[in-house]
């Protein structure tokens, strides 16, 4: 493997990869839309298929060029998969309530300054539509494919080229920018920093996928509950709810730090 392959992609190359991904999704969406009478696919099914195809092509191409194997991409650590999940999954889930509350508070402020357009409302509604393809795309496909790309390909390369926090920040910025709207950018940006730290410490995509999937699933469930409640849950969150979320997140962060940072200091390898 030559130096260009070992350090692929750089930040500039990563931006081009994301542009290629976007153009590929656009082209595939246009093609499948024209063939909708032959395929019989619904809009949700088409979007899920396009996500898989476009991300799959970009991922396979990047992995082939960099000569990364799937085992190395998903879990590049000596620790077993079961041990990693057993140690990291519980504290990761404790972070989710606070992530949702902070995101909701931030979005409330942003939407007061920049109200959603009708097109944006329709686009966000389609993401959480109550159909099986939308559920699979939001809660399973997006977390897996996006973590493989942004942490498994991009951050993995950045960590070999840039200082630790610069690499994490670059991957988080690109992760936010890939969502192509200010509303999702803000959550994706700081969530990307947290996901980047998890990957940098654990060298495994499994905890990243777990957190990403948990957040997406929780958002999806809360959106489905809006129609059955007089006041959405996050809008009605009081001081006790915030305190409980803070306590859970503090416990989760403490355990993660002990497991990831502590083990790294003792053995030189996280988890």
* Integer Cα distance of 171 and 154 in angstroms: 7
Which positions ≥6 away from 165 have C-beta within 8 Å? none
SS (H, E, C) the chain: CCHHHHCCCCHHHHHHHHHHHHHHHHHHHHHHHHCHHHHCCCHHHHHHHHHHHHHHHHHHHHHHHHCCCHHHHHECCCCCHHHHHHHHHHHHHHHHHHHHHHHHHHHHHHHHHCCCCHHHHHHHHHHCCCCHHHHHHHHHHHHHHHHHHHHHHHHHHHCCCCCHHHHHHHHHHHHHHCCCCHHHHHHHHHHHHHHHHHHHHHCECHHHHHHHHHHHHHHHHHHHHHHHCCCCCCCCCCHHHHHHHHHHHHHHHHHHHHHHHHHHHHHCCCC
């931030």: which residue's tokens?
106
Question: Hey, what are 249's tokens?
Answer: 């997140």
Question: Hey, what are 125's tokens?
Answer: 């509604």
Q: Are 107 and 172 in contact (CB under 8 A)?
A: no
Count the neighbouring beta carbons within 10 Å of the beta carbon of residue 214: 19
pTM equals 0.90
* Integer Cα distance of 182 and 31 in angstroms: 28
Q: What is the pLDDT of residue 6?
A: 67
Torsion of CA 183, 104, 132, 152, to 10 degrees: 60
* Integer Cα distance of 75 and 206 in angstroms: 7
Q: Are 29 and 50 in contact (CB under 8 A)?
A: yes
Q: How many CA atoms lie within 13 A of 251 on its CB side?
A: 12
Q: Are 187 and 211 in contact (CB under 8 A)?
A: no
Q: What is the pLDDT of residue 262?
A: 67
| Per-residue pLDDT tens listing for the chain (271 residues) | 666 666 899 999 999 999 999 999 999 999 988 887 787 888 878 888 899 999 999 999 999 998 999 999 999 988 899 999 999 999 999 999 999 999 889 888 888 888 877 777 776 776 666 678 888 888 999 999 999 999 999 999 999 999 999 999 999 999 999 988 888 888 899 999 999 999 999 999 999 999 999 999 998 888 887 765 545 677 788 899 999 999 999 999 999 999 998 655 544 454 4
């Amino acid at each position: 493997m030559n130096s260009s392959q070992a350090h692929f992609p750089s930040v500039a190359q990563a931006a081009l990869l994301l542009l290629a991904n976007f153009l590929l999704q656009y082209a595939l969406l246009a093609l499948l839309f024209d063939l909708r009478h032959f395929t019989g696919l619904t809009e949700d099914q088409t979007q899920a298929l396009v996500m898989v195809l476009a991300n799959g092509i970009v991922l396979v191409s990047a992995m082939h060029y960099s000569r990364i194997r799937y085992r190395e991409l998903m879990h590049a650590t000596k620790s077993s998969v079961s041990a990693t999940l057993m140690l990291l999954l519980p504290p990761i889930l404790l972070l989710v309530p606070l992530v949702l509350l902070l995101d909701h508070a931030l979005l409330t402020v942003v939407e007061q300054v920049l109200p959603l357009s009708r097109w944006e409302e329709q686009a966000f509604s389609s993401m959480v539509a109550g159909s099986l393809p939308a559920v699979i795309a939001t809660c399973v496909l997006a977390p897996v494919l996006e973590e493989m790309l942004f942490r498994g390909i991009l951050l993995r390369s950045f960590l070999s080229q840039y200082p630790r926090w610069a690499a994490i920040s670059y991957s988080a910025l690109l992760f936010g920018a890939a969502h192509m709207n200010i509303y999702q950018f803000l959550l994706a940006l700081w969530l990307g920093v947290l996901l980047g730290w998890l990957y940098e410490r654990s060298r495994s995509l499994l905890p990243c996928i777990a957190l990403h999937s948990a957040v997406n699933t929780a958002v999806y469930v809360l959106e489905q509950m809006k129609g059955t409640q007089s006041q959405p849950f996050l809008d009605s969150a009081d001081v006790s709810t915030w305190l409980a979320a803070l306590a859970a997140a503090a416990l989760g962060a403490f355990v993660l730090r002990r497991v990831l940072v502590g083990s790294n200091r003792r053995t030189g390898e996280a988890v």
